[in-house]
């Protein structure tokens, strides 16, 4: 499993992050208004409590959907942070990285089964893909159609990730292919002996709590209101 990393490459959605921070600022101002009456009299009744919980739930959604999603890569492997789950995959477990309507990482688990994870942080619509191909065809009218595939944001991200993976592949110091393979195998065995080098897809506790706690609070507030 990959530990804490200082990524060489970080891929995020700037638009989503701007919207998330805008909502957090809006929610903070409204929560202060409810608590201290910045624009009028402070309100501490059940209606105010319901509004406060809804604002906090919105903050949880902003964090999970806007701030958390990212693709991080360094010489050890790649981390795909989606809204609620994280993929951590050493490069030796990654079968491929493709840029389609989203960045798709195909990886192998410890039991040998193959899986694929779609990154939430970057999306490309079919229309955007078609526009990119049309631009490429217009700029290169004499190039065969097979090489006119437009490079969308997801394809560019996949290219960057593949470049990091290529740089991170073990290389033997000797020109002897057999010796290089032996050195690579020895490195893999060393990782296994240390309990490392395994891909994992796990739930993120902070993300689950960011949504779960406000939902529970909202149920409690509404339940108290119904009982009352």
Q: What is the pLDDT of residue 44?
A: 85
Q: What is the pLDDT of residue 195?
A: 41
Six token digits for residue 79: 């981390």
Order of strands across the sheet with 102-108? 94-99, 102-108, 114-123
What torsion, rounded to 10 degrees, do the Cα atoms 71, 205, 200, 151 define?
A: -20
Q: What is the pLDDT of residue 86?
A: 98
Residue-by-residue pLDDT tens, the chain, 228 positions: 565 556 789 999 999 999 999 999 999 999 999 999 888 888 888 999 999 999 999 999 999 999 999 999 999 999 999 999 999 999 999 999 999 899 999 999 999 999 999 999 988 776 666 666 566 566 655 554 444 455 788 999 999 999 999 998 766 544 555 555 555 555 545 444 444 579 999 999 999 999 999 999 999 998 876 555
- How far is CA 134 from each of CA 124, 139, 149, 154, rounded to the nearest angstrom? 15, 9, 9, 17
What torsion, rounded to 10 degrees, do the Cα atoms 74, 76, 77, 82 define?
A: -70
Q: What is the pLDDT of residue 51?
A: 95
Q: What is the pLDDT of residue 81?
A: 97
C-beta separation of 80 from 10 below 8 A: no
C-beta separation of 74 from 164 below 8 A: yes
Six token digits for residue 31: 């929560």
Six token digits for residue 202: 């796990």
pTM of the model: 0.79
Q: What is the pLDDT of residue 152?
A: 86
Q: What is the pLDDT of residue 18?
A: 97
């Amino acid at each position: 499993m990959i530990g804490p990393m200082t990524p060489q490459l970080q891929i995020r959605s700037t638009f989503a992050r701007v919207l998330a921070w805008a909502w957090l600022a809006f929610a903070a101002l409204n929560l202060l208004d409810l608590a201290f009456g910045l624009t009028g009299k402070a309100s501490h009744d059940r209606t105010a409590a319901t509004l406060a919980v809804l604002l906090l739930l919105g903050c949880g959604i902003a964090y999970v959907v806007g701030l958390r999603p990212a693709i991080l890569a360094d010489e050890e492997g790649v981390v795909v942070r989606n809204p609620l789950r994280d993929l951590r995959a050493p490069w030796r477990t990654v079968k491929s990285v493709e840029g389609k309507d989203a960045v798709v990482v195909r990886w192998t688990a410890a039991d040998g089964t193959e899986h694929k994870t779609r990154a939430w942080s970057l999306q490309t619509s079919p229309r955007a893909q078609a526009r990119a191909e049309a631009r490429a065809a217009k700029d290169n009218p004499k190039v065969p159609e097979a090489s006119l595939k437009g490079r969308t944001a997801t394809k560019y991200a996949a290219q960057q990730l593949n470049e990091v993976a290529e740089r991170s592949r073990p290389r033997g110091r000797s020109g002897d292919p057999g010796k290089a393979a032996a050195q690579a195998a020895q490195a893999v065995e060393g990782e296994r002996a240390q309990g490392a080098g395994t891909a994992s897809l796990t739930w993120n506790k902070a993300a689950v709590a960011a949504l779960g706690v406000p939902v529970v609070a909202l149920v409690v507030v509404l339940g108290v209101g119904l009982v009352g």
